[in-house]
Chain A
Amino acid sequence: MSTILLIEQLLNGLQSGLMLFLMAAGLTLVFGVMGLINLAHGSLYMVGAFACAGVAAATGSFWLGLAASIAAAAAAGAIVEVAVIRRLYARDHLDQVLATFALILIFSEGTRWLYGSFPLYLNVPPSLSGSVTLPGGIQYSLFRLAIIGAGLAVAVGLFLLIGKTRIGVQVRAGEADREMIAALGVDIRRLYTLVFALGAALAGMAGALVGTIQSVQVGMGEPVLILAFVVIVIGGIGSIKGALVGALLVGLTDTMGRVLLPSIFGLFMETSAATSVGAALASMAIYILMALVLIVKPGGLFGARA
């Protein structure tokens, strides 16, 4: 295993971790502030990807597509919040799970109705296509590098928003005591819609960026949704910092596991057996990580409550 390949995979892990963070941040905010478990978060990711693909195909501009993905996902999030989610805050988790499961069916089947089952492909914008040479002579895709930069920028922006602004104060107060901030005159319904739309916008952006690397298709949000659940269970539900740490852990474990485990088993097994055992174990690595975190800290790394 060459060092160059290893560093390349580290960067890939970082990139997938940051995209997971965009998903997990919205989930964890919505759970922390409104106490809601939202399975339909993956659908908003898909909405973002389809909006980007549609607008980029119509206008020829990836950047307009990216803007459209954020706007469409935020709008879809706000509409869903007002129409459905708002009625679920006072319900138990089972009702929330089932109602948002129903939303997944509606979103997925509706999208399949509109666009068909075939995957769409997005082109990397010309200004970001090709690769760059990093220090040490490593060739790395410029677009993936840009995604890492965008993910880091959003993470910093989100920490500033939650930590330094008036809205951030309200969000944190909402996590601590909902009734109290309503009594202090904050329009709690508008705050909830805003938080939900913010989470949706982040998911939509992640969908557009990842959709450009992979493909845009119905059901693309579901594997990511489950990974985002693993992330927030590891990080601790409700904690943005936990979501960031958890996302990077999961992204790196998953990527590195797939690269390293087959070659580690190859040291003492024949190649074909090592490949299959390694691949099977690599697919389980993040769940084993989650189980280990739970044994040590049932409330997650940065969670307040279990």
Chain B
Amino acid sequence: MSAAEVTAMPEGRGGRMTRAQIVNAALALGLIGFGLGAWAMDETFLVTLATKVAILAIAGAGLNLVLGFGGLVSFGHAAYFGLGGYASGILAHHALNYTAMFEWPFVFEGTTSMPVIWLTAMAVGALAALVIGALSLRTTGVYFIMITLAFGQMIFYFAISWPAYGGEDGLPIYVRNGFPGLNTLDPVQFFGLVCVVLFAMLGLISMLARSRFGLALQAARQNRQRLMAVGIRPGGVLLVAFVISGAITALAGALYADLNRFVSPSMLSWHLSGELLVFLILGGTGRLFAPLAGAGLYIALEHLLGGVSDHWQFFFGLLLLGVVLFARGGVIGFLAGGKRHG
């Protein structure tokens, strides 16, 4: 996986789309088509399922920036996801109870406005990623994996033992937060909003990957010595990527809290960090659309296998083991062929 190239999609010859671009377009249309089709048939549950896929894909996209492009195996991204969720839950909690969050040094009220909540969630995620990243990036390889996992657990246990916001029981959001001009309680409107956020984030990551910063980030994965030789400090590039990644994943967490109208420590659990990694490997590590392909496949399997057996995770484990051992490259690698070098 480490030898694989992750570059922004190369332009196809003569204006024709490459196979990877066709697969990406199909994935995007598939998600939108599924959501709208379910809405047309009045299957509210399936609209919600498609929304869940889109939100998890945003979270995976955040992780993909550091894992696929920067080569950092972060096993603690549930921390940012959960912090984003709690940012949403806590702001809404205060707004709905008409209590100020804190009154010193200035009065800070809660809010139920999504744009404000999103910015707060991203700021919280970025700040946490800055602190955790600055400490974790002192190490590499397997140490980095274990340390990001451990910091994720630290926040998980803190959320469980801190009683002010529900502790182990979690925090309900009684009314879904609002977005100017939309009725977010309508499933298809919320689905549309989430899709816009998803494609905006994927566009942002694609743009970042093509920029000078993105090239330096990919170079940091491939060979840190060479990057240093051209005068760029890898630590700084990786930390910036880690912070952006934390912010994107936190945004997904805020949306997820609104989808379920509930936040609990399970959003911070290490299982979720593992699942985010699984999305990327199922989709095809380092591909821009890997998180969408992976999250879609995972939710589809959960839904289909879950209907057949209560123990679907057993079979999912076997499948995942098979993919890791024998089918490297994931869904997009299978559909779009090997990656180009150069």
Contact = CB atoms under 8 A, between A and B. Distances in A.
B154 A97 contact: no
Interface string A271-306: 000001001101110011011001100111000001
B106 interface: no
B275 to A, nearest CB: 9
Given A87-B325, A93-B141, A276 B67 contact: no
Nearest to A110: B314
Contacts of B1: 92, 94-95
A104 B317 CA distance: 8
Interface stretch (B44-52, B157-165, B224-232, B237-245): B157-165
Interface string A96-123: 0111011111101110110000000000
Given A113-B314, A306-B139, A98 B147 contact: no
Interface size class of B (residues with CB under 8 A): 35 or more
Interface in B128-169: 135, 138-143, 145-147, 149-151, 153-154, 157-158, 160-164
B94 to A, nearest CB: 19
Contacts of A222: 270
A102 B271 CA distance: 11
Nearest to B141: A93
A106 B73 contact: no
Given A237-B142, A298-B139, A280 B270 contact: no
A233 interface: yes
A294 B73 contact: no
A106 B150 contact: no
A232 interface: yes
Taking each of A97, A101, A104, A300, which has the highest tally of chain B beta carbons within 10 Å of its own beta carbon?
A101
A31 interface: yes
A222 B75 CA distance: 14
A226 interface: yes
B175 interface: no
Given A222-B270, A233-B146, A298-B138, A105 B75 contact: no
A99 to B, nearest CB: 4
Interface stretch (B27-35, B199-207, B277-285): B277-285
A288 B220 CA distance: 28
B281 A94 contact: yes
B150 A290 contact: yes
A239 to B, nearest CB: 13
A165 B328 CA distance: 41
Contacts of B146: 37, 229-230, 232-233
Contacts of B67: 94
Interface in A223-241: 226, 229-230, 232-233, 237
Contacts of A108: 313
Contact of A97 (B75, B158, B313, B328): B75
Contacts of B162: 276, 280
Contacts of B139: 294, 298-299, 306
A109 B274 CA distance: 16
Interface string A133-174: 000000000000000000000000000000000000000000
Nearest to B318: A106
A97 B314 contact: no
Contacts of A99: 320-321, 324-325
A226 B328 CA distance: 27
- Mostly, the A contact residues are helix
A84 interface: yes
Given A93-B141, A284-B157, A98 B320 contact: yes
A232 B135 CA distance: 17
Contacts of B138: 294-295, 298, 306
Contact of B160 (A226, A283, A287, A290): A283
A118 to B, nearest CB: 15
Among A88, A294, A295, find the residue whose CB has the most chain B CB atoms closer than 10 A: A294
Contacts of A84: 321, 325
A31 B145 CA distance: 13
A226 B324 contact: no
A47 B164 CA distance: 37
A79 B162 CA distance: 42
Contacts of B97: none
Contacts of A280: 158, 161-162
B311 A109 contact: yes
Contacts of B223: none
A290 B142 CA distance: 15
B73 A93 contact: yes
A191 B1 CA distance: 28
B262 interface: no
Contacts of B316: 105
Contact of B278 (A101, A229, A282, A284): A101
Q: Which of B67, B151, B277, B281 has the most CB of A within 10 A?
A: B281
B109 to A, nearest CB: 23
Interface in B263-305: 270, 274, 277-278, 281, 285
A306 B142 CA distance: 9
B314 A37 contact: no
Interface of A: 31, 37, 84, 87-88, 92-95, 97-99, 101-106, 108-110, 112-113, 222, 226, 229-230, 232-233, 237, 276, 279-280, 282-284, 287-288, 290-291, 294-295, 298-300, 306
9 contacts: A101-B274, A102-B324, A106-B321, A108-B313, A229-B150, A233-B150, A282-B161, A284-B154, A287-B151
Q: Can you list the 3 inter-chain pairs with the closest CB atoms, starting with the nearest?
A: A105-B317, A287-B154, A109-B314
